[in-house]
Amino acid sequence: MEIPYTVKPRPDTGLYNAKVGIWLFLASEVMLFGALFSSYILLRVGAPDGFWPDVSTGWPHGLLNIPIGTFNTAVLIASSVTVVMAWAALKAGNFAKFKGFMIFTVICAFSFLGIKSYEYNEKFTHYVVRMKDGTAVTGHFDHEFLHGFLDKANTRRDQKNAGLREANAKAKQEGKAPKELLSHLSNRFLTLEKFGEENVESVKMLVDVPSAFRYPVGMKPPAVGDGSKGSEHGEHAEPGGHFEKEVKLADVQSIAAFIPSTATFFAIYFTMTALHGLHVLGGALVLGYFAFFGRKMWHQEPERLTNRVEVAGLFWHFVDLVWIFLFPVVYLL
């Protein structure tokens, strides 16, 4: 038995099966991402008034790295061009050229993912500190302070774990349940509780200076733009810069990294970009498969391989298109 129109188009529709299939699949993908974009709009319109990271939450602005995002957009667009060139090379019967363009496409895809994970890490080490008086600041922990803290904390945890391991070995002999070991801390995902466990009284922060943020009571908002950066009291910091600040943990309500649970903006940002990232990964694996393992099919059924590349290319354009919408929506607007 043979399934008709797997390679040659059906005369009355002018399409081969997989092309119909991929367009239908893309229609469903439009509905998937469409639902997420709609959710974005509804959540943003419904967000409480006020400036994030104020307690009344509000909607954060300008927290994503626009230059890097722009570069990543260019990377993805470039890959969309080369995937067409790869398909055109196959149409012209040049497998070597196809392979070159396709490998370049896949490199672009993985570069995109690499850059995206750098951005993710940037967010995981960026913090919002909410104070008990209802105000809040955002920023990073001072490098020197942080490493001093991490060294001390992890040494203590290692010592404690050594003791726990001994106790667990004993417990195992006696048939008791072992106790869980303490995990190492890193500069990601720190919380007030984790600082509390290490008996830290205050943390040293490099507080961000976008003008819209609120500052703790008793601190004047920095006078923006007179050029002397990083002053102790923040009066002379410029936008995009930061100033140092010692924050007493007794005054702090919570410390949270820029992770999904911190604000609805991050929730939808991470959900949408991660889902898009999964699509990039899936597409890259398929395109890479054609580049590296397509030769056999090229010799047996060249038309079939060309069709497959075309269909995968359509998917790749869609993935690109989603990003073209995502970038302005989450980075710029």
Partner 1 sequence: MNTSTAHAPAHSTASAHGADHGHHEHHEPGFWQKYIFSTDHKVIGIQYAVTSLLFLLFGFLLMMAMRWQLAYPGKPIPVIGHALQAALGDDMANNGVMQADLYNVFGAMHGTIMVFLAIVPILFGAFGNYVTPLQIGAPDMAFPRLNMASYHLYFLGGIVMLASFFIPGGAAKSGWTSYSPLATINDPVHVINGQTLWLIGMVLLITSSLLGAVNFITTIIQMRAKGMTWMRLPFFVWAQFVTAFLLLLAFPPLEAAGIMQLVDNLLKTSFFLPSGLVVNGQQLAVSGGGSPLLWQHLFWFLAHPEVYVLILPAMGIVSEVIANNTRKPLWGYKSLVYATLSIGFLAFIVWAHHMYLTGMGTRISTFFQTTTMMISIPSVIILTALFISLWGGSIRFNTPMLFALAFLPMFGIGGLTGLPLGFNASDIILHDSYYVIAHFHYVVAPGTIFGVFAGLYFWYPKATGRMMNETLGKIHFAGSLLFMNMIFAPMFIQGLHGMSRRMYDGGSTYFGSGVGLDQHILNLNISITHAAAGLGFFQLFFIFNFFSSLVWGKRVTSDNPWQATTLDWQTPTPPPHGNFTTEPVAFRGPYEYSVPGAKTDFTPQNQAG
- Least distance from partner 1 to the Cβ atom of residue 121, Å: 17
DSSP state of 274: H
* Contacts (CB under 8 A) with partner 1, residues 111-170: none
Site string for partner 1, 4-43 (x = CB under 8 A): xxxxx-x--x-xxxx-xx--xx-xxx-xxxxxx--x--xx
- Asked if 54 contacts 128 with a C-beta cutoff of 8 angstroms, the reply is no
15 versus 162: smaller Cβ distance to partner 1: 15
Tokens of 138: 């955002």
Selected binder of partner 1 within 81, 267, 281, 286 (CB under 8 A): 267
* Contacts (CB under 8 A) with partner 1, residues 186-245: none
Torsion angle (degrees, nearest 10) of CA 240, 245, 250, 254: 10
164 versus 259: smaller Cβ distance to partner 1: 259
In DSSP terms, which residues pair with 246 in a beta bridge?
204
298 versus 323: smaller Cβ distance to partner 1: 298
Long-range contacts (CB closer than 8 Å, 24 or more residues apart) made by 52-55: 52/263, 52/265, 53/128, 53/130, 53/136, 53/137, 53/138, 53/213, 53/214, 53/263, 54/134, 54/135, 54/136, 54/214, 55/130, 55/134, 55/135, 55/136
Q: What is the chain's Cα-based Rg?
A: 26
1 versus 218: smaller Cβ distance to partner 1: 1
Instruction: With contacts defined by CB under 8 A, name the span among 94-102, 162-170, 189-197, 266-274 that binds partner 1.
Output: 266-274
Selected binder of partner 1 within 83, 131, 263, 291 (CB under 8 A): 263
Selected binder of partner 1 within 137, 257, 268, 291 (CB under 8 A): 268
- Asked if 98 contacts 107 with a C-beta cutoff of 8 angstroms, the reply is no
57 versus 161: smaller Cβ distance to partner 1: 57
* Contacts (CB under 8 A) with partner 1, residues 42-101: 42-43, 46-48, 56-57
CA dihedral over 167, 169, 174, 179, signed as positive or negative: positive
- Least distance from partner 1 to the Cβ atom of residue 282, Å: 13
Q: How many residues bind partner 1 (CB under 8 A)?
A: 52
208: alpha, beta or left? (left if phi > 0; alpha if psi -120 to 50): beta
Selected binder of partner 1 within 72, 138, 262, 273 (CB under 8 A): 262
Comparing C-alpha atoms, which of 189, 207, 206, 213 is closest to residue 58?
A: 213
- Least distance from partner 1 to the Cβ atom of residue 21, Å: 5
* Contacts (CB under 8 A) with partner 1, residues 269-308: 271, 275, 299-304
10 versus 143: smaller Cβ distance to partner 1: 10
15 versus 169: smaller Cβ distance to partner 1: 15
- The CA distance from 252 to 5, in Å, is 67
53 versus 234: smaller Cβ distance to partner 1: 53
Q: Which residues bind partner 1 (CB under 8 A)?
A: 1-8, 10, 13, 15-18, 20-21, 24-25, 27-29, 31-36, 39, 42-43, 46-48, 56-57, 259-264, 266-268, 271, 275, 299-304
